[in-house]
Structure 1
Amino acid sequence: MAALTQFLAALTPQPFVNPENYDGLEYRWKFLVFRPALFQREAFLLAALLAYVAFFLLGRWSNTRKATKWRDAHLPLLEQQFSRPSHWVQDGYSDFFNFSTGRRNVASLHAIFALRPRHDFFQWAFQTLRTLVDLQYRPKDSLQLDFKLLPGTLVHDFVWAVVSKDELLSVKDGRWDLTFTKTSENSALPQKFSVMSEFGDVTDGVLKAFPLTKILEDPKIAPYFCSLSITDQPRDRPTKPLKPSDYEKHVILSLSVPSSSRAADTAGAVAALFPFVDSLSKIALRPETKNKLKKIREEIEKDIKLESERDKKEEEAEALEAKKAAKRKAEEERIAKLSAADQKKILEKERKRSIRKQQGKVAAKK
């Protein structure tokens, strides 16, 4: 209690003491007197508040402008490719979404902006300071173009990606599907990129179906390209077996968001993705590769099913134990309300029952 009293006392502002002898700057108007020198602390607090508000407004404007400029620069392309090209949604001041639908081979396109929290000084400062401690931590403005494919667009089931080498340490964060792959080099691609593939045959099939080098060698896209992936698996590991209808196939392009003045630099790469998606049906794999891919997925399905059954049994056991505990507590509360004589009878009855159980166990052992 004493510690709490001291803490509250420390938070309580000191009472104002009006000095009798004041020779500083003073403003008078009738009976009102304002002496600036007596409000230095308040002036600093007000300045800090105004700076925080200015930081918030400037950061909000910067993020909104960055996302809007990118959308406006790519809107003609989206209008050309989709019958319903643009549904813009903003969540807070750093997350923006654009949804397009109505195109052959593509069920939908989600453009997902995750910008730095420039409107929140404390989050921004935390990210900035963390970069000084963790050299691998590099916060950035990211954009994902997630093409959900229509059934039949991608005939085979596989996971494949081409990744900028700068992103290899972080590319699997939040992407369980990419754990299916192994990382390797490929002479058909520029040296700054690596391939993540389940089998070499998959890589050969993808590169033969579409000349990806044209996209990757574009000097405009190079500063912003993070990864391009094809996947038949969910991003997060399922907690229970999925139905065949629950599986979706996606093509996902991950970019760093260009500055507002360079928003159109990624338009060429985005435009090239549409013929890339259309070419996926041309990918050919050897029969043995298709069998291996199928076997891998059957094993994963089996593991997920076993984990799901084990988790279900654990949940049922915990629920049963909780039910027993609640029953014991209710019985103890009932007994506590009885008279001392009735409680003694119940305890004696429990003691005799315990003795009989012990005698039964001894007889069974003999």
Structure 2
Amino acid sequence: MADYIKGLFGGPKAAQSPIPAAHDADFADFAGAPDPSPASISPVTAAHISPTPAPFGGRPGVPYTKWYRVWERTSAADFMQEAFILPFIILIVLVHLWGTRTNRRKAKAWMRAHAPVLQQEFAVVGFGGRRAPGADDTLMKEKAGNEFVTYATGRQNVAFVDVKLSLLKRYNPLSQYSEMVLGFFFDSLNAPVERMEATSYCFDGKESQLVPSMGGAETKSAPNSTFDGFVWAIVHKNSMRRLRDDRYDISLTSTKDNPKLPAWATVMSEAAEITDALLTPELISAVEKAGEALEALIVTDQPLEQPKKLDETVPKKRITLSLHLPSSSTASAYDSTLPLFHYFLRMPDQLAAHAHFRPEAMRKVRATREEEIRKIRRVDEDEKAEERKLKSDKERKEKRDQLLKGMSAKEQEKYLAKERAKTQRKSEKARTMKG
């Protein structure tokens, strides 16, 4: 046993193992194996691994392999898909920038041409309050890439004026040309055009309600801004059908050509006396200068949509001017339409002074409005009667169900038979009266 322990701990008898000789034969194949040594890197592997430090702040001693060299492991063929898509993206961005800038340039040109007239007629123009005449950075607001608006207030007989410029969607040619094609093939869809729509909302004697600060002595000393309510318009003949279909107020008028106007224009009015009073030589001259850029000049007290409730029949007097915009982006392109725009701004003064007609001339106008009010009241009364009937039927049914619930089966059968007989007698009586 002592010799065995000495062999384990490297004693002189270590070569003598207590393990049986039969087991030594199992490990005879490993008897000549060399001693283990650290693994070495082959020359081929070493050639592909650079011992230099990694750039971009890498740790020294870390092998810098080809994986980090993107330009070595990729080629132009790997970016063929991007090469096809990228030009389209660049083209879309460039077209969008060109379209928006072109529309902004046209809107600024319109503002430069019309700002002096607006600032001459109104105390406040734009959205920056009272400003110097040369400050135009807040005169117009961009609501969309193809829509620009401005606002003016602070004038006698006019509460405020809204102006909207509707331009082509140059920043989106696909949408623009799709609308053009659809408008060409379908009459119900209007082809896109560039137009200016301005609406002047008249005080009509409501200064103290709309502007409370104007109450008291100022209101008493101010001229009367009221005038008779009616619908009257000068329209381009190409726009007649669309206006009559789209606007309820225009549908109340009758169309009649006037020899004082150009051949392409016509008058839509509710009474001949109204036309005689409003068709002044100054207006005729402005219409002739505007030419076919004029789409419509409308004086109205009725809503755009047919009223469904009595509240919607309350007159709201306003003047609307619609003009086609020229293709040029210069301020001088508006010289032909400026006289008509100026006349439009001053038209509330003319209405307050001269739009007071004889009762005989306004009889038909009032009859039309009263008939519409009667129709709305009739519909309203029918709806209320229907509601009362439904409520009465519901109460009767609840009372009948409650009554049947308290009866026995025999009493219920007797009650239902009596009810059927009563219903049959009513139907026979109705057939006899109809025959």
The corresponding residue for 2:166 is: 114
Deviation at 1:148? 0.7
| Cα pair 2:245 2:251 within 8 Å, conserved | no
Deviation at 1:228? 0.5
Gapped runs of 5+ residues in structure 1?
1-27, 322-348
Deviation at 1:166? 2.2
The corresponding residue for 2:261 is: 189
The corresponding residue for 1:235 is: 304
Distance 1:318 1:65, change over 3 A: farther
The corresponding residue for 1:249 is: 317
Deviation at 1:359? 1.8
The corresponding residue for 2:213 is: none
Deviation string for 1:139-190 (max 9, x for gaps)?
2012111011111535111100001122223223532111110111011212
Deviation at 1:247? 2.4
Deviation string for 1:293-325 (max 9, x for gaps)?
11111111111233345566778999999xxxx
Aligned partner of 2:417: which letter? Q
TM-score, structure 1 length as denominator? 0.74
Distance in 2 of aligned mates of 1:357 and 1:95: 71
Q: Look up the SS of the partner of 1:65 in the other structure.
A: helix
The corresponding residue for 2:334 is: 264
| Cα pair 2:150 2:164 within 8 Å, conserved | yes
Q: Does 1:76 align with 2:116?
A: yes
| Cα pair 1:78 1:86 within 8 Å, conserved | no
1:1-366 pair list within 5 angstroms: 30-36=71-77, 39-87=79-127, 88-134=140-186, 137-152=190-205, 153-208=225-280, 211-218=282-289, 221-242=290-311, 246-258=314-326, 259-261=328-330, 262-265=332-335, 266-280=337-351, 281-310=353-382, 355=413, 358-364=416-422, 365=424
Aligned partner of 1:276: which letter? M
Deviation at 1:109? 0.6
Distance in 2 of aligned mates of 1:317 and 1:176: 33
Larger Rg over CA atoms: 2
Aligned partner of 1:125: which letter? Y
Deviation at 1:97? 1.5
Q: Look up the SS of the partner of 2:379 in the other structure.
A: helix
Q: Look up the SS of the partner of 1:273 in the other structure.
A: helix
Deviation at 1:292? 1.6
Q: Look up the SS of the partner of 1:31 in the other structure.
A: helix
Q: Look up the SS of the partner of 2:155 in the other structure.
A: coil
Aligned partner of 1:115: which letter? L
Identity %, equivalent residues: 28
Gapped runs of 5+ residues in structure 2?
1-68, 128-139, 206-224, 394-406, 426-435
Distance 1:363 1:227, change over 3 A: closer
Mean Cα deviation higher: 271-280 or 134-143: 134-143
Which has more strand, going by share of residues?
1
Aligned partner of 2:196: which letter? L
Q: How big is the alpha-carbon RMSD for the aligned residues of Structure 1 and Structure 2?
A: 3.4
| Cα pair 2:227 2:356 within 8 Å, conserved | no
Deviation string for 1:90-137 (max 9, x for gaps)?
322222221110101111111022222222343213113224424784
Distance in 1 of aligned mates of 2:174 and 2:193: 16
Deviation at 1:205? 2.0
| Cα pair 1:142 1:255 within 8 Å, conserved | yes
